[in-house]
Amino acid sequence: MKFLDQPPRFLFFTGKGGVGKTSIACATAIELAGAGKRVLLVSTDPASNVGQVFSIIIGNQITPIAEVANLSALEIDPQAAAQAYRDRIVGPVRGLLPESVVKGIEEQLSGACTTEIAAFDEFTALLINSALTQDFDHIVFDTAPTGHTIRMLQLPGAWSGFLQDGKGDASCLGPLAGLEKQRTQYKAAVDALADAKKTRLVLVARAKTATLNEAARTHDELAGIGLTRQFLVINGVFPESEVAQDPLAQAICEREQAVLANLPNALRELPTDQIALQAFNLFGLAALRQLLHTPSATSPHNSVATQGGLPDRAAPATTAPVTDAALESILIKAPSLASLVDDIALDGRGLVMLMGKGGVGKTTLAAAVAVELATRGHEVHLTTSDPAAHLMETLHGTLAHLTVSRIDPHEVTEAYRAQVLATKGAKLDAAGRAVLEEDLRSPCTEEIAVFQAFSRVIREAGKKFVVMDTAPTGHTLLLLDATGAYHRDIARQMGSGAHFTTPMMQLQDPRQTKVLIVTLAETTPVLEAANLQMDLRRAGIEPWAWVINNSVAAAKVSSPLLLQRAHNELHEIEAVAHRHASRYALVPLLKDEPVGVKRLTQLAASLSKPI
C-alpha cells in the first residue's frame, strides 16, 4: 500500500461522506499496531462508528482495544467536548454572578460555534507532543466528511489571527473566552499539520465523478494551508471479473473505468491505491486484518477489497443463494419514491428536508423529489445546506416551476458582513467601525450567517415547496442546534404567554415540514439513520419517511457479487419497513447514473420491482 510506505506519525483519512474512511482508517490502525507500533485511532466525525467496528463503547476518552495489542481509540464527542468546555468557562463564575447572568452565559455557549471550538480544542491537543499522546508512535485520524474537516484544519490560523488582533465586540465572545490561553497549542498544531515529515493526508474517494471532484477540491484547499504530502485511495472499485452476462454490472464497471481514466488533474500525480468492491460489508477484526492484504479490483499487486459500509458481522465464508421468492416478498410491498411524492404533493406547499449519512445519495434524491413536484405544476425551490453538494451537476438542465439555490457558507457570510457594516456600521465613527469589522471576522460570524440564510429559505415554504438537501448528519444536527438555541433565546426574551414563531417551531410542525431520512440497505447506514431519527425526535422533530437508495435487491442482477449484496440487503430493508419507518420508499440501483431531469424523473417513478 503506497499510503502506508514509511508512514509519518500523523495520518489523516478524509473525503466525501460514505466513501469508506472508517474501514480504511481502522484497518490501517490495526496494521500499524500489528507491526509493533503503539497506535491511537481517533475519530473527529460527529457521526463516528469506530466503536461499532470494535464492538465496544469508546467515547470521549482514550480506550485500549483489548483484542488488538498496541491499539487504543478515541472518539471526540462534540457534545461532550462542548459541555466540558462550557463547564470550564461557566464554573468559576457560578455562585459569584446572579443566576440570570449565568443562564445568559450558558445560552451564549449553547450554539454550534461553541461545539466546533470545543471539539477543535481537543483535536489540537492530540497534534502536539503532550502527555496525552507521548506514548503513541502513530495517531490515525478518521475525520468528518470533507467540508467540516477543511474548516477544522483552517480554524487554527483563523483563530490565531482573531486572537492576535483582538476580539473587540465579538458576537461569540463567550465561546472564544477559553481560547486566549491556547495560542501556543494552536501554533504547534498548525506547525505539525504543515510538516510533511509529521503528517500525511490520505484522500479517500469512490470511482465516481462527484467524489473525485470533491477529492480534487480538497487536495487544492488543503495544499493551500500547507498540507502538501497527500495520497489518494479509490475505494469500492467494481471488479472487471464480475461483469460477464450482467448488464447492470457491466454498466457500473464501464462507468467507473471511464471515470478513473479521466481523473481530475489535481489527482493525477498523487500516489494512488485502488480498493476492490466486495460482495459483503466489512466488519470485525478478522475481516479488517485481511483488508490491506487482499487483491484489488484491477491487479493482484495493488490494495484491498472492501467498501464504505461496516455491518455487524464478519463476511460469510460462502455465498447464500438469493431466491426469487425472497426478493419478491420484499419488492411487492415496497413503494416507489414517486408514491411518496404523491402524498407530499397533496399539501400544495411545505418544506421537504432530506437528511442522512454522507454518501447515501441525498443530493440526487432531493433533485428527484423537486423535479417530480415541479413536473406536476407546483412551484419548487430546490436548495442545499451541504458545502459539498452539486445540485446543478445533478440536474444538468432547467425545468419550469423549479428554481435552484445553494447556501454557500462563504457567500452568505460575506453578505452578512456587508449588511451589518451598511446598517450598524453606518452610524459608527472610524474607530467604532474598525472594531465592528474585527468583530465580523470572528469564527462565529459564519454560524450566524448560515443560520439566517437557512431561516430565510424555509420561510418560503409557506407559499411553495422548498426541497432542501442537507449536509451529512453531524453537520445538519449542528445547524439544528443553532436553530434550537435561537428558539430558546427568543422564548426567554418574549416570556410565557407571548405568541411567536421560530424556525424550530416550523421544523417541529408536521403540517409544514416533512423530513425524509435517506439511507442505503447496509447495516451501518441504517444504524446511523436510526440514530439520526432519535436525535431528531429529541429535538421534537418526527421524521416523515425513509428512503432506501441504490438498492441492488430492487434491480435485476445476475453477477454473483451483486446477488450476494442483494441478499445482504434483505435484512436491512425489512428492518426499515417494519421497525424504523412509518412509511418508506425503495429506489433501485440504476444502470445509468441519475443525472439530468429525464433520468431523475425515471428514478422517482422506478417501481420497486426488478427492472
The sheet with strand 10-14 has its strands ordered as 63-64, 71-75, 39-43, 138-142, 10-14, 199-206, 230-237, 272-276
Name the pLDDT band for 46 (thresholds 50, 70, 90): low
Q: Is the pLDDT of residue 496 over 80?
A: no
Tell me if 304 sits within 8 A of 287, measured CB to CB.
no
Q: Is the pLDDT of residue 260 over 70?
A: yes
Per-residue pLDDT, averaged over 247-276, amounts to 93
DSSP structure string for 294-320: S--SS-TTS--B--S---SSPPPSS--
Of residues 154 and 499, the one with the higher pLDDT is 154
DSSP structure string for 486-522: HHHHHHHHH-TT-----HHHHHH-TTTEEEEEEEESS
Q: How far is it, in rounded angstroms, from Cα 170 to Cα 29? A: 41
**What pLDDT, on the 0 to 100 scale, is given for residue 272?**
95
Q: How far is it, in rounded angstroms, from Cα 201 to Cα 232? A: 9
What digits encode the pLDDT tens for the residues 387-417?
A: 656 777 788 778 899 999 888 878 888 888 8
Q: How far is it, in rounded angstroms, from Cα 379 to Cα 459? A: 14
Give, as one character, the DSSP assignment of residue 386.
Answer: -
pTM tops 0.75: no
Closest residue by Cα to residue 503 from 454, 445, 447: 454
Q: Is the pLDDT of residue 178 over 60?
A: no
Task: List the grid coordinates of 279.
Answer: 460482495
In degrees rounded to 5, what are phi and psi of residue 529? -65, -40
Per-residue pLDDT, averaged over 313-324, amounts to 43
Q: Is the pLDDT of residue 549 over 90?
A: yes
Comparing 8-12, 61-65, 73-77, 512-516, the range with the smallest average pLDDT is 73-77
Of residues 304 and 71, the one with the higher pLDDT is 71
Comparing 126-130, 284-288, 444-448, the range with the smallest average pLDDT is 444-448
What percent of the chain is predicted at pLDDT more than 90? 29
In terms of DSSP bridges, do strands 71-75 and 63-64 run parallel, antiparallel, or are they unpaired?
antiparallel
Bridge partners of 551, per DSSP, are 588
Sequence-ordered strand ranges (E) for 329-469? 350-355, 380-384, 402-404, 465-469
DSSP structure string for 31-92: HHHHTT--EEEEE--TT--HHHHTTS---SS-EE-TTSTTEEEEE--HHHHHHHHHHHHHGG
Angle at 569 between CA 563 and CA 575, to 5 degrees: 160
Name the pLDDT band for 171 (thresholds 50, 70, 90): very low
Q: Is the pLDDT of residue 470 over 60?
A: yes
Closest residue by Cα to residue 366 from 544, 17, 598, 603: 603
Of residues 335 and 113, the one with the higher pLDDT is 335
**What pLDDT, on the 0 to 100 scale, is given for residue 256?**
94
Per-residue pLDDT, averaged over 477-486, amounts to 57
DSSP structure string for 230-285: EEEEEEEEPPGGG-TT-HHHHHHHHHHHHHHHT--HHHHTS-EEEEE--SS---SH
Give, as one character, the DSSP assignment of residue 446.
Answer: H
**What pLDDT, on the 0 to 100 scale, is given for residue 550?**
93
Name the pLDDT band for 478 (thresholds 50, 70, 90): low
Task: List the grid coordinates of 281.
Answer: 460489508
What digits encode the pLDDT tens for the residues 411-451?
A: 888 888 898 889 888 888 888 888 788 777 765 677 677 77
Q: How far is it, in rounded angstroms, from Cα 101 to Cα 492? A: 13
**What pLDDT, on the 0 to 100 scale, is given for residue 149?**
60
Comparing 49-63, 145-159, 183-197, 548-562, the range with the smallest average pLDDT is 145-159
Tell me if 151 sits within 8 A of 29, measured CB to CB.
no
Give, as one character, the DSSP assignment of residue 94.
Answer: B
**What pLDDT, on the 0 to 100 scale, is given for residue 370?**
95
Of residues 554 and 290, the one with the higher pLDDT is 554
Tell me if 237 sits within 8 A of 187, measured CB to CB.
no
Give, as one character, the DSSP assignment of residue 181.
Answer: G
**What pLDDT, on the 0 to 100 scale, is given for residue 150?**
60
Tell me if 555 sits within 8 A of 607, measured CB to CB.
no
Q: Is the pLDDT of residue 172 over 90?
A: no
Tell me if 44 sits within 8 A of 139, measured CB to CB.
no
Name the pLDDT band for 247 (thresholds 50, 70, 90): very high
What digits encode the pLDDT tens for the residues 340-393?
A: 999 999 999 999 999 987 778 888 999 999 999 999 999 999 998 776 567 777
Q: Is the pLDDT of residue 168 over 50?
A: no
Of residues 132 and 187, the one with the higher pLDDT is 132
Of residues 102 and 526, the one with the higher pLDDT is 526
- What's the chain's average pLDDT? 78
Name the pLDDT band for 35 (thresholds 50, 70, 90): very high
Cα 516 to chain centroid, rounded = 16
Q: Which domains occur in the chain, in start order?
A: 2-291 (3.40.50.300), 324-408+460-473+499-605 (3.40.50.300)
Q: Is the pLDDT of residue 307 over 70?
A: no
Burial class (CB in 10 A: 0-12, 13-18, 19+), 251: middle
**Residue linked to cell 500499524:** 32
Tell me if 54 sits within 8 A of 67, measured CB to CB.
yes
Q: How far is it, in rounded angstroms, from Cα 165 to Cα 186? A: 16
Q: How far is it, in rounded angstroms, from Cα 541 to Cα 513? A: 9
Burial class (CB in 10 A: 0-12, 13-18, 19+), 286: exposed
DSSP structure string for 563-590: HHHHHHHHHHHHHIIIII-SSEEEEEPP
**What pLDDT, on the 0 to 100 scale, is given for residue 308?**
41
Q: How many Cα atoms occupy the beta-carbon half-sphere of 79 within 13 Å?
A: 10
The residues annotated as belonging to the active site are 18, 20-23, 45, 524
Closest residue by Cα to residue 74 from 142, 21, 161: 142
**What pLDDT, on the 0 to 100 scale, is given for residue 365?**
94
**What pLDDT, on the 0 to 100 scale, is given for residue 160?**
52
What percent of the chain is predicted at pLDDT more than 70? 75
Exposure string of 172-209, with b = 16+ CB inside 10 Å and e = fewer, is bebbbbbbeebeebbebbbebbeeeeebbbbbbbbbbb
**What pLDDT, on the 0 to 100 scale, is given for residue 571?**
87
